[in-house]
Copies of this chain bind each other. A is one copy, B any other.
Amino acid sequence: MANKEIPYKIYLNESEMPKYWYNLRADMKNKPAPLLNPGTGKPMTAEELGGVFCEDLVKQELDNDTREYPVPQEILDFYKMYRPSPLVRAYCLEKKLNTPAKIYYKFEGNNTSGSHKLNSAIAQAYYAKKQGLKGVTTETGAGQWGTALSMACAYFDLDCKVFMVKVSYEQKPFRREVMRVYGADVTPSPSMTTQIGQKILAEHPGTTGSLGCAISEAVEVAVGTEGYRYVLGSVLNQVLLHQSVIGVETKIAMDKYGIKPDVIIGCAGGGSNLGGLIAPFMGEKLRGEADYRIVAVEPASCPSLTRGVYAYDFADTGMVCPLAKMYTLGSDFIPAPNHAGGLRYHGMSPILSQLYDDGMMEAVSVPQTRVFDAAETFARTEGILPAPESSHAICAAIDEAIKCKETGEEKTILFGLTGTGYFDLVAYQKYHDGQMDDYVPTDEELKQFRARLPKV
């Protein structure tokens, strides 16, 4: 052990656990652009948003000023069931790489949802319950968000209707089964239970569905059913607010032992994990109190930050949701098959998009086979089987550590290990069997999608 005083894994005591979420927007000079009503082109009002989302969550969504939100006691009680998550020093990985770098990772996978998604799911379920609602609707692709929301709804005795992209529903029966354990009602999307589903099925009879279509169905049911609202697991400001618990906990643990990261790395799909992990560090950077390199890692097959444009776009392919200003590839962009379902989103959180546009963070993209090389190295040295999404961050962290080996720099690298890969073994199988695709879209392809962006 390099430093005897720092434990291998840092678990905060319960008394040290954060009691507030940190709202990064309070420290941003350039605030994220507002959501627009696609009909009027004007900013969505609280009233308009309240028809779709829970009241308190709408307030959080629109609040660019309040710096710290006290976490309600009911949510703190639930957090105690699976938090604090450990901050781990990757001694074995460092040794394997023979690097002078110090590598830390914050591991969010030690709960049944298998990822950080539970941090926001329990918050959204709490506010739905507080409002006296009967239930919530949502969509899920890979299934992590749907699982997390099912767990949260079981805890608060709320009805949970999940529209699961049909291809996932059929290929991932185990994810579906976990949601059933928690009492959720899981429907393959598109379905005949909604008007939009019926329309899509009439137009495309054999379709296996898409996240955009599932969003549209979930929103339709929420808006049309008494006592229901729609909830979402990423992209939105409120989600990044809840996920700040990751970063705040990390920072408390690092401060306790006098550790300061030089580089902070996270995978980025819609931005929920990255936005949460970096929040308090980015806050210091925005206030000029400290400096950090902050790196978003995305799949080369779906490179919204590295090859997208910063523009208003639809959040869903069905074009029923508000317009968000974000780095986007176009709402009808369909990435080539890759196995990080959580990173297959065409856009990016408006908060992170603004910070990236302001030069406050970097972004890199990595091809899939390299991601799985990194995943396997990590599994064999650190013992944890990582999710494909998380493995993007591992890959970039390994690249940084190897650079340190070349330069001799003893940098401190922090990355977010968002989840486990227990439900992603088909992907590992393809990797082992040499059947993994590394397709990257051409400039010409990206240009075509870009040409169809809405005119605002």
Contacts and interface: CB of A to CB of B under 8 A. Distances in A.
Interface of A: 7-9, 11, 13-14, 80-82, 92, 110-112, 114, 151, 154-155, 173-174, 177-178, 180-183, 376, 379-385, 420, 422-423, 425, 428-429, 432
Nearest to A386: B112
A283 to B, nearest CB: 29
Contacts of A7: 13-14
A177 B425 contact: yes
17 contacts: A7-B14, A8-B14, A81-B382, A111-B384, A112-B379, A112-B420, A155-B383, A173-B425, A173-B429, A174-B425, A177-B425, A177-B432, A178-B385, A178-B425, A180-B429, A180-B432, A181-B380
Contacts of A420: 112
A80 B9 contact: yes
A385 B14 contact: no
Contacts of A82: 383
A399 to B, nearest CB: 21
B428 A8 contact: no
A437 B110 CA distance: 31
Contacts of A381: 155
Given A423-B422, A425-B173, A425-B174, A80 B8 contact: yes
A388 to B, nearest CB: 12
Nearest to A15: B7
A385 B181 contact: yes
Nearest to A172: B425
A196 to B, nearest CB: 28
B8 A177 contact: no
Contacts of A382: 81
Dominant SS among interface residues on chain A? helix
A111 B383 contact: yes
A71 to B, nearest CB: 15
Nearest to A175: B425
A428 B376 contact: no
B177 A429 contact: yes
Contacts of A154: 379-380
Contact of A385 (B11, B112, B432): B112
Contacts of A13: 7
Residue among A8, A110, A151, A181 with max Cβ neighbours from chain B (10 Å): A181
B112 A383 contact: yes
Given A177-B425, A180-B428, 9 more contacts: A7-B13, A7-B14, A81-B92, A81-B382, A173-B425, A178-B425, A180-B429, A181-B376, A182-B379
A433 to B, nearest CB: 10
A152 to B, nearest CB: 10
Contacts of A425: 173-174, 177-178
A340 B183 CA distance: 22
A195 to B, nearest CB: 29
A151 B383 contact: yes
A376 B182 CA distance: 8
Nearest to A80: B8
A422 B432 CA distance: 21
Contacts of A9: 80
Contact of A181 (B151, B181, B183, B379): B379
Closest 5 interchain pairs by CB?
A: A174-B425, A177-B425, A8-B80, A422-B422, A154-B380
Contact of A81 (B155, B183, B383): B383
A228 to B, nearest CB: 21
A114 to B, nearest CB: 8
Contacts of A173: 425, 429
